[in-house]
Amino acid sequence: MSTLVVAEHNQSQISGATLATVSAATQIGGDITMLVLGSQAGPAAEAAAKVAGVTNVLHAADPKYDHCVAEEVAELLVAAQKAGDYSHVLAPSSNASKNYLPRAGAKLDVAPISDILAVADKDTFFRPTYAGNAIAQVKSKDAVKLITVRPTGFEKAAAEGGNASLYVAAGISGAIQHLAGMKDSKTIVAINKDEEAPIFQVADYGLVDDLFNAVPELTEKI
């Protein structure tokens, strides 16, 4: 059992709503991977690697994710879920997640669960209903659960909790300030078409290839 958390950020810091979502993921159990989107989000990915409870970080650095276009993000989530075999995909409840998560659900043929306030177990959650005047218990038998989290229902995870076990840098060259922030991750995997990219100096594993060629092939192998 493992959870993928989609991060919201301002390119440098992880949002409080995302930290609350990590707390919800912790209550579900299993490993937690945080997905950070955006070509300018290197500092946010560094911050994600330090959040308490987060074991892995994925940074999708393609510029097409810069504006969180629902169709693009949904397609990425489906690919990431299949590649990582995540049992749960969580995102903070927001206008953005309310657009991309239902699209991902349609592609995966599962019904998303929205605005959870509490976790009973890995299959059972509580969410508001009747305009917030009642709380409903929702039990899902779906193999993959797509969930938005109402941040007021959970304490924020500590923003400085350690270092990620795995950091995958796809298409990132590795500016000095970026390397300084993520070099202490336990395992760093770099994918870049420039064999001289600084990221390879700190990577444990490196692949010289275009990320658009490499990532689909790696996903297929996994």
* Mean pLDDT value across the chain: 85
Q: Which residue has the higher pLDDT, 31 or 161?
A: 31
Residues of the chain above pLDDT 70, percent? 82
Mind listing the pLDDT tens digit for each residue in 190-219?
A: 777 777 776 676 677 788 877 667 666 665
* Residue pair 20/155 in contact by the 8 Å Cβ criterion: yes
pLDDT of residue 168: 73
Which of the four pLDDT bands, split at 50, 70 and 90, describes residue 187? Answer: confident
Tell me: pLDDT of 56 over 60: yes
Tokens matching residue 109: 């043929």
Q: What is the CA radius of gyration of the chain?
A: 17
Q: What is the mean pLDDT of the segment spanning 58-84?
A: 92
Contacts of 181 (CB under 8 A, 6+ apart): 42, 43, 45, 46, 47, 49
In the chain, where are the structural domains located?
2-221
Which of the four pLDDT bands, split at 50, 70 and 90, describes residue 114? Answer: very high
Tokens matching residue 104: 């991902």
The model's pTM: 0.75
pLDDT of residue 180: 46
Mind listing the pLDDT tens digit for each residue in 80-113?
A: 999 899 999 999 999 999 999 999 999 999 999 9
User: Under CATH, what is the fold of the domain 2-221?
Assistant: Rossmann fold (3.40.50)
Q: What are phi and psi of 92, to 5 degrees?
A: -60, 145
Q: What is the mean pLDDT of the segment spanning 4-17?
A: 94
Contacts of 90 (CB under 8 A, 6+ apart): 3, 4, 5, 6, 21, 24, 25, 147, 148, 149
Residues of the chain above pLDDT 90, percent? 58
pLDDT of residue 194: 78
- Least confident among 74-83, 170-179, 191-200: 170-179
